[in-house]
Amino acid sequence: MRIDIITVLPELLKSPFEASILKRAIEKNLVEVHFHNLRDYSLGNYKQVDDYQFGGGAGMVLMVEPIDKCISKLKKEREYDDVIYMTPDGDTLNQGISNEVSLKKNLIILCGHYKGVDQRVRDLFITREISIGDYVLSGGELAAAVLCDSIIRLLPGVLNDETSALTDSFQDNLLAPPVYTRPSDYKGLKVPEILLSGDFPKIEKWREEQAMERTTKLRPDLLK
Ligand code: ADE
C-alpha cells in the first residue's frame, strides 16, 4: 500500500509514523507513506495556500489551485483508488470503513485546515470524506494519523500475531473480552480460573461470553 498525505503541517503528522507498529510496517516495506507540504504547491512569493472566504465570515479557506497542482502531479505518477478528505462532516470512521480502506493500493489523504477547503476541491477530486468523530480538531492531520494507524495495522504482516487484528474489539461488532497477564494474583485480585485451565475450547467460549456481556452492558447499540 502507498499513502500520500497532503497537509500544510507535515511536522504535526510525522511522529506517529516514526514509532512502534507504523514505523515497523514502513521499515518492512509493507506500506509507503509520503508527506506533501501544500506550501510547495503554493502561489507566488508569499507561499499562499489559503484565503478569505467569499461572502465574508471568520476563518481562512484552503485554495483550490495548490491542491489541484499537488493532486494532479500525484495522479500523473500512478492511479489512486481513493482521494480521501479528512473532515468533521464526513462519514464517521468505524472498523468496517478501516477494513475496506485497508484493501486499497494507492491512497491520497488530504488534511483540511482552518475553515476547510474550497468546495470545488471536494467536487473535483475527493472520492471519500471521513470524520473521526463528532468534534472539531484544528486540522485534519491528527485525524489522518488515526485513519492511517487503523488501516496500516490491518495490512498482512504488520502485526506479529496475524490473528491479532481479527480479535480486536469491533471486528465482529463486539467489544473485546478482558485480558490478563502475570501475576495471576495481584493484591488478592485473581485472574479468572478458566484462563489458567489450559482448556482452550472452554477459554474460547468464555471469551465469547465475556465479549457479548461487555457489549450488551457498554455498547448495546453495536448489537442492533
Ligand atoms: N478535521 C477537523 N475535525 C475533524 C474530525 N473530527 N475528523 C476528521 N477531520 C477533521
- The secondary structure of residue 137, as a DSSP letter, is -
Residue identifier of the C-alpha nearest atom 10 of ligand 1: 87
Give every CB contact of residue 54 below 8 A, 6+ residues apart in sequence. none
Best of 5, 8, 13, 87 for a ligand 1 pocket test (most atoms within 8 Å of beta carbon) = 87
- Ligand 1 centroid, distance to 112 Cα (angstroms): 8
- Ligand 1 centroid, distance to 172 Cα (angstroms): 26
- The secondary structure of residue 69, as a DSSP letter, is H
For residue 47, how many other CB atoms are within 10 A of its CB? 14
Q: Residue 104 burial by CB count (10 A; 0-12/13-18/19+): exposed, middle or buried?
A: middle
CA–chain centroid gap for 148, Å, is: 4
- Ligand 1 centroid, distance to 49 Cα (angstroms): 19
- Ligand 1 centroid, distance to 154 Cα (angstroms): 22
Give every CB contact of residue 174 below 8 A, 6+ residues apart in sequence. 211, 212, 214, 215, 222
- Ligand 1 centroid, distance to 73 Cα (angstroms): 25
- Kindly give the confidence (pLDDT) of every residue in the chain, 224 residues in length, as a single tens digit, with 9 standing for 90 and above: 999 999 999 999 999 999 999 999 999 999 999 999 999 999 888 899 999 999 999 999 999 999 999 999 999 999 999 999 999 999 999 999 999 999 999 999 999 987 899 999 999 999 999 999 999 999 999 999 999 999 999 999 999 876 677 778 887 889 999 999 999 999 999 999 999 999 999 999 999 999 999 999 999 999 98
Which residues form ligand 1's pocket by a CB distance below 6 Å?
86-88, 112, 131-133, 135-137, 140, 143
